[in-house]
Amino acid sequence: MAQPLLFSLIDKAIYDYKMIVPGDRILLGASGGKDSTALIEYFAQRSKRRSADFEFKCIHIHSEITPPLNEELFSMFRQWDVEVESIFVDVLNRVKPGRKMNCYWCSTQRRTELLKYAMDNGYNKIALGHHLDDILETMLMNMLDKGEFATMPPVMRYDNYPCQIIRPLCYTDEQTIIDHGTERGYIVSTCTCNYQETSRRKDARKGIEFITGGDKIKKNKLFQSMKNILPDYLP
């Protein structure tokens, strides 16, 4: 039986960017949202292939404003033979004096904990659930807000840490994940805190939708354009 479109897109991204090599130990962040859940399902299936030559583990970072995953979601993971370890982080008490709590700060603290866990336990890669739309939106925000042509790369190597960030969903648009999750009956548990400030990303999302009309091919063309830079035709 043919595998789902979602898994084929992830396979291609992993192959193109050499995200997984023999002996890798990969840490997955389990947020409870559809994106990380899609990654967990994919890794659970890939680990059962005859050619599987890597290890992975799932970690859920929760705090006083992001409660632990619900039991239904844990049950779904167990059906995939995946155990998820939960780690508590006191995010609010880490906010520096004079600074305001926001989504960026919270995500940075959770990323820091994933990185710390990876280094303490011998994991050389961290897989995150950023998809094609996330990458394009970040590109547009950086262009408009910072005057920079930059985004979240499919593979990011730290200069000071022995870990890499991989984004296996880089070829996958959000609607494909939604469709897959609906078909699979995903149980979603997402953050509903009062500190969310997503207006910039929402504006960027509207901009990408306006430019592409929601067309997957055009979104992929935008992504490909970041790899086909013509310096002679730029300032």
Strands 55-62 and 84-88: parallel
* Ramachandran quadrant class, 164 (left: phi over 0; alpha: psi -120 to 50; beta: rest): beta
pLDDT score recorded for residue 192: 61
Nearest to 133 by CA among 97, 170, 108: 170
Q: Tens of pLDDT along 109-158?
A: 788 889 999 999 999 999 999 999 999 999 999 999 999 999 999 999 98
Q: Please give the single-letter amino acid code of residue 78.
A: R
Question: What are the tokens at 129?
Answer: 């659930």
Fold that domain 5-228 belongs to in CATH: Rossmann fold (3.40.50)
C-alpha span between 167 and 147 (Å, rounded): 24
pLDDT digits (tens, 9 = 90+) for 30-78: 988 999 999 999 999 999 987 788 999 999 988 777 767 888 888 999 9
Q: Length of the chain, please?
A: 235
Q: Terminal CA-to-CA distance of the chain, rounded, Å?
A: 50
Mean pLDDT of 91-115: 76
